[in-house]
Amino acid sequence: QSDKEYVGFATLPNQVHRKSVKKGFDFTLLVAGESGLGKSTLVNSLFLTDLHKDRKLLNAEERINQTVEITKHTVDIEEKGVKLKLTIVDTPGFGDAVNNTECWKPITDYIDQQFEQYFRDESGLNRKNIQDNRVHCCLYFIPPFGHGLRPVDVQFMKALMEKVNVVPLISKADCLTPGEMKKMKDRVREETDKYGLKVYQFPDCDSDEDEEFKQQDRELKESTPFAVIGSNTVVEARGQRVRGRLYPWGIVEVENPSHCDFVKLRNMLIRTHMHDLKDITCDVHYENYRAQCIQQMTSKLTQDNRVESPIPILPLSTPDVETEKLIKMKDEELRRMQEMLQKMQQQMHEQDL
Amino acid sequence: MAATDVDVFSNEEKRSLSLGGHVGFDSLPHQLVSKSVTQGFCFNILCVGETGIGKSTLMNTLFNTMFENEEASHYQNGVYLRPRTYDLQESNVHLKLTIVDTVGFGDQINKEDSYRPIVDYIDTQFENYLQEELKIKRSLFNYHDTRIHICLYFISPTGHSLKSLDLVTMKKLDSKVNIIPIIAKADTISKSELHKFKIKIMSELVSNGVQIYQFPTDDEAVTEINSSMNAHLPFAVVGSIEEVKVGNKMVRARQYPWGVVQVENESHCDFVKLREMLIRVNMEDLREQTHARHYELYRRCKLEEMGFKDTDPDSQPFSLQETYEAKRKEFLSDLQRKEEEMRQMFVNKVKETEAELKEKERELHDKFEQLKRMHQEEKRKVEEKRRDLEEEMNAFNRRKVAAETLSLSQPLKKDKDKKN
């Protein structure tokens, strides 16, 4: 009986799973922050590879007038048959020069370029093999040495929040004691609200999830911004070999949740919310860009159309204050003359009587 | 006169004599010491570093006291210096300590001018001292010396190298003040990273020609310790005022989930070395260097700028007083000339304005005349019109009367006709 009623579309998730494994996934991650905050080390720790072999670090002298570069590293990694094409976009030079005015411009330009390229591809005739290079997530590294967000942090996040999912991180978290860490996180959250910065928000979990999952979700949301530590070295701690940092006073374990939020970040970024980040990039940021683009194009078209019409029209640009004043004065004079004329006519009429 | 006296002394042969008994002038150093103790000492520290890097905490830790300090905000428009003076006492030694903080350093997006307020402050202190020295009635022994004796430059523990701002700032400061670079918040760097970091920093400083303070190695008593300390620069420090129980003692430390960083443990950080060098061994040398080297350099540059020289073209020694007098006369005559010029200009301007006013007055008068004439013309016309109108009215009235009388006789006839 149940066999007859069983239609079979409950297997859809499995079909989706199969197809996606066959197709493979891609993810683009942008890391930004000043030199020396552990960005490369963290990326290595997250994806358990060494992406930055043989890189050359600049001296202080060379960095005085440094401009921001954009570098891309793409790797193909595979786990249990699932293939991931991971692209890490690095921003060497950000915030390193003495004058950092608008140092985020190369980054916003890069993001816009990827949107533009996708927009063109999407509008093209042959859409079979579109390459999606849009940036899905931006990890922004906040230095732990200060009292919270600095002006350059605020400006950067303001410039990028409408274009990409921004995930702020407190870097080198082994610099802060638990009390100081709490103060720092509270500060950053306060300042994020104060300056109206829109960072990536975790979607609320469904109300039919079990209590444990909801609890985890709450904990995750309460511990933002994540305080992270990265390491390229493996040390021996508590009888195990773990990624960590060896100090004379103890060993910091990267994957120990009581030491730092690395595990939370990894879970969020890779294990649970990677697809959500991609969705928001496609559905929100890209759509915003696309709508803006189209609006600009159509307003330009209508402008051009108007110029060609035979009817003389006022110039579209607002006249400057001077000419406006003159026009007003002349109008006034005209009106007065008309009134006087009327009066005189009336008088003449009366006199004729 | 003094110059010739000294010459006489150095040309004479100096003879060493041996004493027949104990005279007692071996107590001179003690007399000097007791005099300076009664006078009290003064020491001025400048802390340069980004907001939140640990400047105030380190000062508290070094001097084992709580200097009052509000947390600075990251959103200052520029860099400004905040000096605070405290009176400290240890045993019977009084210390007037001034700590100068750089508020807002490193926070601006454009840091090109960040070094300027610091350099200006240091120069101002030198200038004040110079003014006191040049006074006629001066009291140098009573003068509160605010010249900066030591600049602690706090380097951010990135683990790579100096920041570009650090390099630019230290280059501007190295000829004006003794600089000791220190690595702040050093509990975030592991031992091997620290070793590489220190080497990189020192090599960057050397290759860019930045002169940092070297602990003196010419005094045998401290040669050994100083030269070994020189090798540990820059000091990697950790500051803390909180105490943690380690073993059975309370020590100043920072408590982490993975361990306790003890401030005074030499294998954890270089705090003890810094305290030793800065306060216990070389404080007096720092004061001397500031006065004998940095201040003298400033003074020489300043006076040369003003046009003073030690010897004139004929190699005869110039007296400061004579040069000063000559300069003063020059300046006064300059001043007089300028005054004359300005007075001339003023008189000319007044004449011009007067002429203009006269011209305008004449114009107004002409206009008035013109208007008056127009008015009279108008009045005449209106009069004419009025007369015309009156005439018309009169004519009309006559016609009216005529018509009325006519009409009066008419209706009688009509009535008669009607009745008929």
Cross-chain residue pair B258–A155, CB shorter than 8 Å: no
Q: Which among A100, A102, A43, A101 has a CA at the least distance from the CA of A71?
A: A43
- The DSSP symbol for B22 reads -
Q: Cα distance from A31 to chain B (closest Cα, Å)?
A: 17
Amino acid of residue B27: S
| CA-based nearest residue in chain A for residue B166 | A60
How many other C-beta atoms can be found within 10 angstroms of the C-beta atom of residue A232? 12
More confident residue, B136 or A118: A118
Q: Which pTM was predicted?
A: 0.75
Interface probe for B, chosen from A145, A155, A251 (most Cβ of B below 10 Å), is A145
Residue A80: pLDDT over 70: yes
* Among the ranges given (A229-233, A293-297, B9-13), the one the predictor scored with the smallest mean pLDDT: B9-13
How far apart CA B119 and CA B290 sit, in angstroms, is: 15
Task: Report, as an integer, the average pLDDT of A155-162.
Answer: 91
Cross-chain residue pair B254–A177, CB shorter than 8 Å: yes
Amino acid of residue B368: F
* Among the ranges given (B84-93, B95-104, B304-313), the one the predictor scored with the smallest mean pLDDT: B304-313
How far apart CA A96 and CA A70 sit, in angstroms, is: 14
Chain pair A-B, CB pairs under 8 angstroms: 133
* Among the ranges given (A321-325, B164-168, B377-381), the one the predictor scored with the smallest mean pLDDT: A321-325
Residue A167: pLDDT over 70: yes
Residue A52: pLDDT over 70: no
How far apart CA B3 and CA B5 sit, in angstroms, is: 5
Confidence at residue B315, expressed as pLDDT on a 0 to 100 scale: 47
Per the CB < 8 A criterion, the answer to whether B153 and B182 are in contact is: yes
Question: What pLDDT band is residue B99 in, cutting at 50, 70 and 90?
Answer: very high
What does the pLDDT look like over A240-298, one tens digit per residue? Answer: 888 899 998 889 999 888 898 999 888 888 877 888 888 888 888 888 888 888 888 88
Question: What pLDDT band is residue B319 in, cutting at 50, 70 and 90?
Answer: low
Question: What pLDDT band is residue B2 in, cutting at 50, 70 and 90?
Answer: very low
Chain A residue numbers with beta carbons less than 8 Å from the beta carbon of B111 are 98-100
Confidence at residue A342, expressed as pLDDT on a 0 to 100 scale: 83
Task: Output the DSSP codes for A123-148.
Answer: HSS--TT-------EEEEEEPTTSSS
Confidence at residue B32, expressed as pLDDT on a 0 to 100 scale: 84
Residue A331: pLDDT over 60: yes
What does the pLDDT look like over B103-127, one tens digit per residue? Answer: 899 898 888 889 999 999 999 999 9
Q: Cα distance from B267 to chain A (closest Cα, Å)?
A: 7
As beta bridge partners, residue B102 has: B81
Cross-chain residue pair A98–B159, CB shorter than 8 Å: no
Amino acid of residue A327: I
Confidence at residue B416, expressed as pLDDT on a 0 to 100 scale: 54
Confidence at residue B313, expressed as pLDDT on a 0 to 100 scale: 52
* Among the ranges given (A30-44, A122-136, B168-182), the one the predictor scored with the smallest mean pLDDT: A122-136
Cross-chain residue pair B165–A246, CB shorter than 8 Å: no
Q: Cα distance from B393 to chain A (closest Cα, Å)?
A: 12
ipTM comes to 0.75
Phi, psi of B47, deg, nearest 5: -105, 115
CA distances from A278 to A70, A83, A131, B216 (A): 21, 16, 14, 62
As beta bridge partners, residue B236 has: B183
Is beta strand A240-247 parallel, antiparallel or unpaired with respect to B179-183? Answer: unpaired
Helix or strand holding residue B90 (H, E): strand B80-90
Q: Closest CB to B163: pick one of A60, A174, A253.
A: A60
- The DSSP symbol for B183 reads E
Helix or strand holding residue B341 (H, E): helix B320-419
Residue A328: pLDDT over 90: no
Chain A residue numbers with beta carbons less than 8 Å from the beta carbon of B167 are 60-61, 64
How many other C-beta atoms can be found within 10 angstroms of the C-beta atom of residue B108? 22
Q: Which two tokens stand for residue A139?
A: 């990890």
Task: Report, as an integer, the average pLDDT of B95-105.
Answer: 91
What does the pLDDT look like over A107-123, one tens digit per residue? Answer: 999 999 999 888 888 88
Cross-chain residue pair B110–A100, CB shorter than 8 Å: yes
- The DSSP symbol for B72 reads P
More confident residue, B315 or B131: B131
Confidence at residue B10, expressed as pLDDT on a 0 to 100 scale: 54
What does the pLDDT look like over A301-324, one tens digit per residue? Answer: 776 665 444 444 444 455 566 777
Instruction: Let me know the angle formed at the C-alpha of A199 by A189 and A266, rounded to the nearest 5 degrees.
Output: 95
Residue with tokens 């609890």: A215
How far apart CA B145 and CA B122 sit, in angstroms, is: 12
Residue B9: pLDDT over 60: no
Question: What pLDDT band is residue A29 in, cutting at 50, 70 and 90?
Answer: very high
Cross-chain residue pair A145–B165, CB shorter than 8 Å: no
Handedness of CA B185, B187, B190, B194 (dihedral sign): positive
